[in-house]
Amino acid sequence: MKPPRKPSRPSDRGPRPDRGPRPGFTPGAGPRPPKGPPSKGPSQGPPAKGASQGPPPQGPPPKRLPAKGLPAKGPARERDRHVGETEEKYHGVRACEALFARRPKDVIRVYITEDRRRHFSALLDYCVQERKGFQVVEDDNLERITGSIHHEGIAILAREYRRWSTGDMMRWLEEKRLSGPFLYLDGVQNPHNLGSILRIASHFGVSAILGAKGDLPPLSPAAVRVAEGGAEFVPVYGLTDPVGDLERLKEFGFRIVATSSHHGDAVYGAPLGRRIVVVLGSEGEGMSPPIEALADQLLQIPGTGVVESLNVSVACGILLSEVWRRSHEPPPSDRSRGRRR
């Protein structure tokens, strides 16, 4: 049996002149009493379950991080974005590995497929620690994000590569931080060729790639992916005065060696060393006359002659392989001593 319901209070309650005003703070009636912890009187009981019983901790509150391995929510912290710097999405396993290894602070956000999470666990842990967002996406979503079907399951939104100037290069030469060899690209416009050349140049220890400012192809995400991480190890310099800057390199003791598919000395018998600038022209037009006039020597890669020329990246690999071999082989006296043993 249900208990009887209590009668409801009447809704037409009027003023109660028999009661005085309620004590306490009334807005507009005077200053608000100062805030502070309530005084601990004898009537207070024990603290509630889970409440802190000791003195408050000193210093700023500890950071609360998302659970390890979970995507960090929200945009990257504002300190990760520098005014005036542009951002780009780089993709490909080797390219992203090298980017994270060489310049982790440039990472802004990571897009990754589920099957790549284990491989890039260190990168994702770093994103959690530094509060940089990462997002687990499907293959087709990553294709839309990168604009490429060759994303290989990983993409990093990062600040673009720094554009090095002629002044940087000359200062580093004076400080002996650059020793050669160098590559000079004259009229090479294809970004994929630039990516292949960066990959080869990093393998053979090239100090830098040079070219006329505005004439070099852009270091696009596609070029970076083709470079397979090499773009992180070989800086690219756009020269404002190519002829004058190459002449200054000659003053530093560098020889200018130009390549030709039609005439010149065979590369396998030419004197080569690390203090050298190898000039590569475009496959169609070759070198420009002002650059060719600076060359101390013209070289060619001997072959059957059935085809007119090699792809510029293939020629680059053959030439740099020979430069590397000459720079690292022991002198003749050491070789003869080794044979006698």
Range of the domain at 209: 164-327
Could you tell me if 262 and 200 lie in one domain? yes
Please state the rounded mean pLDDT for residues 2-12.
55
pLDDT average, residue stretch 213-229 = 91
246-300 pLDDT tens trace: 999 999 999 999 988 778 888 998 888 889 999 998 877 788 999 999 999 999 9
Would you tell me how many other CB atoms lie within 10 Å of the CB of residue 89? 18
Between 31 and 46, the higher pLDDT residue: 31
CA distance 21 to 293: 101
CATH number at residue 175: 3.40.1280.10
Are 100 and 249 in the same domain? no
Residues 145 and 248 in one domain: no
The answer to whether residues 135 and 249 belong to one domain is no
Is the pLDDT assigned to residue 81 strictly greater than 60?
no
Instruction: Give yes or no: residues 138 and 198 share one domain.
Output: no
Mean pLDDT within 108-125: 97
d(C-alpha 175, C-alpha 295), whole Å:
25
**Alpha-carbon gap, residue 248 to 246, rounded angstroms:** 5
Q: Which pLDDT belongs to residue 307?
A: 87
316 plus 168 within the same structural domain:
yes
The whole-number average pLDDT for the span 2-9 is 56
- pLDDT surpasses 60 at 89: yes
Do 194 and 152 fall into the same domain?
Answer: no
**pLDDT at residue 193 is higher than 60:** yes
What value does the mean pLDDT take over residues 139-157? 96
pLDDT of residue 3: 57
From 140, 159, 178, the end of a domain falls on 159
Please give the pLDDT value at position 336.
Answer: 54
Residues 204 and 297 in one domain: yes
Single-letter code of the amino acid located at 252 = F
pLDDT score of 140 more than 90: yes
Does residue 267 sit in the same domain as residue 248? yes
Q: If pLDDT is split at 50, 70 and 90, which confidence band does 328 have?
A: confident
> Which of 159, 188, 218 lies at the terminal end of a domain, its last residue?
159
- Between strands 107-112 and 154-159, the pairing is antiparallel
Helices vs strands, H then E, count in the chain: 10, 11
- Considering the domain architecture, whether residues 247 and 267 belong to the same structural domain is answered as yes
Q: Single out the residue in 130, 159, 188 at which a domain terminates.
A: 159
Is the domain of 209 the same as that of 299?
yes
Residue-by-residue DSSP string for 57-84: PPSSPPP-PPPTTSPPPSSPPGGG--TT
Structure confidence at residue 16 as a pLDDT band (50, 70, 90) = low
Question: Is-cis flag, bond preceding 42, omega within 30?
Answer: no
pLDDT reading at 69 higher than 50: no
Q: What pTM was estimated for this model as a whole?
A: 0.70
How far is it, in rounded angstroms, from Cα 107 to Cα 116? 17
Number of domains making up the chain: 2
